[in-house]
Amino acid sequence: MYKGPGLRYLYSVNSVLRRLRRAFNHYLAETEMALGRNRLWSYPSELCIDVSNKCNLRCPYCPTGRGEQGGRGRGSISVDLFRNILDDLAPYAYQLELFNWGEPFFNRELPTLIRDASVRGLRTVISSNLSFPLSDDQVRAVVDSGLSHLAAAVDGVDQQSYEVYRRGGSFDLVMQNLRAFVRAKRELGVSNPYITWQYLVFAHNEGRVEEARRLSAELGLDNFFAMGGLYDDPSWAPKGEYNFNYLKVGEKRCSFLWKKAVFHFDGGLASCCMGFNKHDDFDDFRPGQFRRMWNNEKFVAARRIWTAPLSPLPDGHFCVSCDKVKLFRGLPLTSKMRRPADAEDVPRAVAAAR
Ligand code: SF4
């Protein structure tokens, strides 16, 4: 398409306006969280859309891997629904994650969805197990779509260490696919997607972290990141203090509730990445109605848990069983995860409110 000076000028004005709107919304969301507002003017500055909740692996501590259906079955988001969500929210957000409970490559339209988000100026992220055959054309289509960041979930350094958690997966296939992504980037002359090897640390693979870090560098990946995995059985706990970032409450508020909107493939609006079952959804997406959804009774009640630390926990509310809430309120954890070493017995926010 011909882009004369007039058209280029309009593009640049539009791009500046877009950045200003996002920056203003971001600071408004931060301010509303800091002030403890429960009803928000701001829109989420981060988005997560689970583009498919199908998966090929059977990871034991993932409900998808355990075969749970969550009352919504398995499927992939339609391009129309995806675009409707972005029409309403992309003008305010700066980042979109296209994964949550499933393997994003199961959505056949993945490159189209990424491209759609990229042209709207969103930073795009996927996390994949990469443990399935991918043709060179499929790899190039994803690289060419403008994907910003690919996180590969690989929790071992050979088939034996890998398949303890990634049940049904093939370590060789993952390595083959990672090499294909590095090659495609080189051949297309692009620096994105930034590729991270994400290693979940459990007791069985804790001793192999440094080997994995070296292998990641040999493959030419951009980053290696080891973090503690979620588990139900304490014998899986690593000895070291890895970053259990699911439980991070450092900011004294659960930032999901002010800054991040999470959608399932069927348009269900979840509280956060932890919401799995349909009956735990806070709402269902309706075009043009997002502000109403973001300020509905469930979201307001969830925010109040954090903004009024001595208030009674709302009966039957999804967030009440959340370990972040338990840590924040100084209560025993719901799960069998080890309490983080820096968790306070009586959290400062609760003590201050007394
Ligand atoms: S369940 Fe926990 S992490 Fe999710 S929104 Fe509620 S408080 Fe935040």
Task: Please state, in angstroms and rounded to a whole number, the distance separating the CA atoms of residues 114 and 126.
Answer: 9
CA of 274, closest atom in ligand 1: 4
What average pLDDT does range 75-93 have in this prediction?
A: 98
Most confident of 16-25, 144-153, 227-236: 144-153
- Going from the Cα of 242 to the center of ligand 1, the distance in angstroms, rounded, reads 21
The pick from 263, 319, 328 for probing ligand 1's pocket by mutation, whose C-beta has the most ligand atoms within 8 angstroms, reads 319
Cα–Cα distances (Å) from 274 to 50, 129, 262, 294, in that order, read 12, 19, 9, 17
What secondary structure letter does DSSP report for 251?
T
Ligand 1 pocket: which residues have CB below 6 Å?
254, 256-257, 271-272, 274, 302, 318-319, 322, 324-325
Please state the rounded mean pLDDT for residues 61-88: 96
Of 258, 299, 318, 320, best ligand 1 pocket probe by most atoms within 8 Å of the beta carbon: 318
Q: Which domains does the chain have, with CATH numbers?
A: 10-300 (3.20.20.70), 310-353 (no CATH)
Mean pLDDT computed over 166-194: 98
CA 133 to ligand 1 center in whole angstroms: 35
Ligand 1 geometric centre to CA of 272 (Å) = 6
What mean pLDDT is predicted for residues 293-319?
Answer: 96
Least confident of 56-60, 119-123, 325-329: 325-329
If you average pLDDT over every residue of the chain, what do you get? 93
More confidently predicted of 77 and 333: 77
The DSSP secondary structure of 194-232, one letter per residue, reads EEEEEEEE-GGGGGGHHHHHHHHHHHT-SEEEEEEPP-S
Q: Residue 105 gets which letter from DSSP?
A: G
CA distance 133 to 110: 16
pTM here is: 0.93
Q: What is the pLDDT of residues 281-292, one digit of tens each?
A: 999 999 999 999
CA 123 to chain CA centroid, Å, is 13
Separation between Cα atoms, residue 213 and residue 320, nearest integer Å: 37
Is residue 1 pLDDT above 90, yes or no?
no
Checking if the pLDDT of 150 tops 70, the result is yes
pLDDT at residue 293, rounded to an integer: 98
Please say if the pLDDT value at position 2 is more than 80: no
For atom 6 of ligand 1, which residue has the closest CA?
Answer: 319
Nearest to 342, CA basis, from 273, 243, 256, 254: 243
Atom of ligand 1 minimally distant from the CA of 271:
5
What was the pLDDT predicted at 59? 96
pLDDT at residue 250 greater than cutoff 60: no
* pLDDT at residue 122 in the model: 97
pLDDT band at 343; cut points 50, 70, 90: confident
Residue 131: pLDDT over 80: yes
Q: What is the distance in A from the centroid of ligand 1 to the CA of 16?
A: 34
Nearest CA to ligand 1 atom 7: 319
Q: Is 48 exposed, middle or buried (0-12, 13-18, 19+ CB in 10 A)?
A: buried
For 297-330, give the secondary structure using H, E and C.
Answer: HHHHHHHHHHHCCCCCCCCCCHHHHCHHHHHHHC
Ligand 1 atom closest to the Cα of residue 322 is 2
- Residue-level pLDDT at 3: 61
Segment (H or E) for 17:
helix 5-35
- Does 199 score more than 80 pLDDT? yes
